[in-house]
Amino acid sequence: MMQPRKPRSLILDLFGDYLRYVGCEVRAGDLVALLGVLGVEPATARVTLSRLRQEGWFTTRRTGRETIYRLSNEMLGVLDQGRERIFAPYESTWDGWWTQVIVQSPEADRSSRDQLRKRLSWMGFGTLSPSTWLSPRDLRRAVPALRAEFPAASIDLMVARTDNPVEDGRLAHRCWDLETLNADYSVFFAEHSALRSETATLEGAEALAVRTELVSTYRHFPFRDPSLPTALRPPGWFGAQAHELFLELHDALAPAAREYVAAVIDIDAAALRHEPALSQNV
């Protein structure tokens, strides 16, 4: 059974997988109906939509008696960033180089400092110390944009290597809680493996609910996992298997879920097939 999710997160999931491909617009009543399938009461859905409009997630317009919600360009950018991170290949090779950033933020600007930390985690950096972050990926090109987004912070970039596989493994364990992360990956894999034999039988609202639960559950992992290359993975690592399972199930459930969404918003289901085959906690 689908666990309760935050309505605002579910709204992003619906736009991320479906509604963005039909102009990022949807009638309020249709969005409320889709959220109802995901366990959100109509009154809660309408209150959430109103609040998100005030926060700048949406603009609205009237067509007769209908209110049309349109996702803002800023939120579309959030979806693009999230999609890129969630669906990026779980790479296996590594050249031994770490991307290292040293960050210093004004003590008085706590909110900005917290946002910078969240962004670094989302990008795949782990904390070696409060001011030093490492990633086994080449993220040098992302740093200029990070500096522009957080101009009050001092962000220094370096690349480093140890030439010692044992020391590299120790660094990975210091930067990320790999034991807890792997345990959570194991649970995800165990709880969703049975869906491989069930996807063909799921239709309509059930297919949408199951696919949304899959996305809602999995999309938190990129905040915690830098997509570890093989050389840095602990024995018995479930991360790559969980990622492959997620992509497989997400793709298998797509046709039935798309058809249901298309029926609710009254469009041809083919319009939703612009979504790539392999298709942030807000």
Lowest-confidence region among 6-15, 27-36, 110-119: 110-119
Q: Which pLDDT score is estimated for 113?
A: 86
CB 195 within 8 A of CB 234: no
d(CA 89, CA 86): 9
| 81 — pLDDT class (breaks 50, 70, 90) | confident
Question: Is 279's pLDDT higher than 60?
Answer: no
d(CA 210, CA 264): 17
CB 45 within 8 A of CB 53: no
- Reported as a single tens digit per residue, the pLDDT across 147-204 is 999 999 999 999 999 999 999 999 999 999 999 999 999 999 999 999 999 999 999 9
List 97's β-bridge partners, or say none: none
What residue ranges in the chain does DSSP mark as E strands? 25-27, 58-63, 66-71, 98-104, 126-129, 132-135, 154-160
Question: Is 41's pLDDT higher than 70?
Answer: yes
CB 250 within 8 A of CB 278: yes
Percentage of the chain lying above the pLDDT 90 cut: 71
Cα dist from 89 to 6, 200, 239, whole Å: 27, 25, 12
Question: Is 24's pLDDT higher than 60?
Answer: yes
Mean pLDDT score of the chain: 89
The larger pLDDT score, comparing residue 272 to residue 25, is at: 25
Mean pLDDT for the stretch of residues 8-35: 92
Sequence-ordered list of residues with C-beta below 8 angstroms from that of 48, at least 6 positions apart, any chain: 7, 8, 11, 40
Question: Is 274's pLDDT higher than 70?
Answer: no
Burial of 254 (0-12, 13-18, 19+ CB in 10 A): buried
Mean pLDDT for the stretch of residues 63-67: 88
- Reported as a single tens digit per residue, the pLDDT across 239-259 is 999 999 999 999 999 999 999
CB 211 within 8 A of CB 17: yes
Domain boundaries, the chain: 98-160, 177-260
CB 155 within 8 A of CB 147: yes
Question: How many residues does this entry show for the chain?
Answer: 282
Give the gyration radius of the chain's Cα atoms.
Answer: 20
The larger pLDDT score, comparing residue 246 to residue 106, is at: 246
Q: What's at 132, amino acid-wise?
A: T
Question: Is 270's pLDDT higher than 80?
Answer: no
The larger pLDDT score, comparing residue 119 to residue 268, is at: 119
Residue closest to 60 by CA, chosen among 29, 87, 21: 29
d(CA 212, CA 7): 12
Other Cβ atoms less than 10 A from the Cβ of 276: the count is: 10
- Kindly state the DSSP code that residue 154 receives in the 8-state scheme: E
Q: What's at 202, amino acid-wise?
A: L
Given this structure, which CATH class describes domain 98-160?
Answer: alpha beta
| 280 — pLDDT class (breaks 50, 70, 90) | very low
